[in-house]
Amino acid sequence: MNNAMNFSGGPGALPASVLRETRDAIEALPETGLSVLGMSHRSEWFRGVLDEAERNLRALLGIPAHYHVLFMQGGSSLQFSMLPMNFLRASGRHAEYIVSGYWSAKAPVEARLEGDTRVLWDGRAEGYRRLPAADELQLSQDAAYLHYVSNETVEGLEFAGTPGLPEVPLVCDMSSNLLAAPIDTERYAMIYAHAQKNLGPAGVTVVILRDEFARRAITGLPTLLDYRTHIAARSVYNTPPVFAIYVLMLVTRWLRDEVGGVEAMAAINRAKADALYGALDAEQGFYRVHGERSCRSTMNVAFRLPTPELEAHFLETARREGFHGLEGHRSIGGLRASLYNAVTLDAVNALSEWLGEFRRREG
C-alpha cells in the first residue's frame, strides 16, 4: 500500500509487477540461479539484458538506427559537463541554454568551464513560474547546440512544444518525462535521462545520441568522458550498474506489455494530471499551484498552502493517511506530488479526494 501511494519526486515509484519480479531476482534469477546483485557485467546474460533494454527503448520511442542508445552513469549532473566537453570545447562556436528552473540552471555553470556559453532566457526573476515564448528566444544559427530541460521537477513546469532552430543541434534533458509521452526523436541531436523518475532506480543514465552529432566530438578527451568510448564498448567500457539496468529493462517490458506503449501511457498521465490539478483548482483560495496554467507539468505538481505551519501539518497528516513523498524540493519548499508512470490513476484519485477532505477540515 505504501508503494502504491508513493508520490516522491525521485527516486520515484516503480510498477508493482516490476517490484515483485525484482524481489525474486535479488534472491535468484530464473535464468541463472544467481542473484541479480551478483551477476557479472561480462556475462552473456547481462549482454542480453542490455540488448533487450535497448530494443525496448527503440521500439517504445521510435528511435532510428542512426541513433546510439547508451547506458551510462553519473546522472544528469555528469551530462551537464560531458556535453560541453565533447561538443563546445575548442569548437569555435558558442552554446545556448534555456534556464527554466532549478535543474536547468545548473547546466550552463558547467558549460562555462568549456567555452562560450550564452543563456537565452532565465526565469529566475519571476520565480520560475513560466516558460519562455518562442519570440523571447534570440536563437543563433551558428550555435554549437541549444540545451534545455523538457520538464522541471522542482517547479512543476513542462514544455508543450520544442524550442530551437532546425539547423542547430538540439539537446534535451528529459530525465523526468522520458517515456511519459511520445517524442519526435529525430528532432534531437541528443537526449539524456537519469533513470530514477520513469525508467527505473537510480544508478543508470540513458543517452540517445545521433551518430552524426557524436562524430563532431573533439579529440583528446579523458577516455571515460568521451561518448565514442561508450559507443565502441556498447555501454560496457567499465563496470555498469547491472542491477539498475536490469530493472530498467523490466520497466520497459511493463510499459510495452501491460500498459500498451507510450501513447497509452500519455493518456493515463494526462488523466492523472487533470484529476490532481482539478482538485487543487477547486480550492484556489487554499491551494496555490506554483506554475502558470499554460506551463503546468503532467509529471510534477508543485503547490503551496496559506502558511508554512499548515504545510507542515499537511505533510504530517498525509503520512498518517498513507500518502508519501509530498514534500516540496528543498530549494523552494512547499508541497509536490510527482505523477510518474508507475503512479496509478487510482492513487491520484485517492490523493485528489483527500485534498478536498483536508481543505474542509483545516480551511
For the chain, counts of helices (H) and of strands (E): 10, 12
154 with 103: CB under 8 angstroms? yes
In the beta sheet, which residues pair with residue 191? 172, 208
CA distance 211 to 200: 26
Burial 11-28 (b: 16+ CB within 10 A, else e): bbbbbeebeebbeebeee
Count of CB atoms situated within 10 Å of the CB of 118: 15
Q: Which three cell numbers stand for residue 41?
A: 557485467
Helix (H) or strand (E) holding 281: helix 262-281
74 with 48: CB under 8 angstroms? no
CA distance 314 to 358: 8
Q: Which three cell numbers stand for residue 91?
A: 569548437
Burial 172-187 (b: 16+ CB within 10 A, else e): bbbbbbbbbbebeeee
Catalytic-role residue among 51, 106, 197, 257: 197
- Give the distance, in angstroms, between the CA of residue 339 and the centroid of all CA atoms in the same chain: 12
Count of CB atoms situated within 10 Å of the CB of 158: 24
Active-site residue flag, 103: yes
Catalytic-role residue among 24, 51, 103, 274: 103
CA distance 287 to 55: 43
Peptide bond into 84 cis (omega under 30): no
Q: β-strand 67-72 against 117-122: which pairing, if any?
A: unpaired
Residue 169 per-residue DSSP state: -
Where do the H-state alpha helices sit in 88-129?
Answer: 106-111
Catalytic-role residue among 173, 226, 254, 272: 173
**Residues catalogued as catalytic:** 103, 173, 197
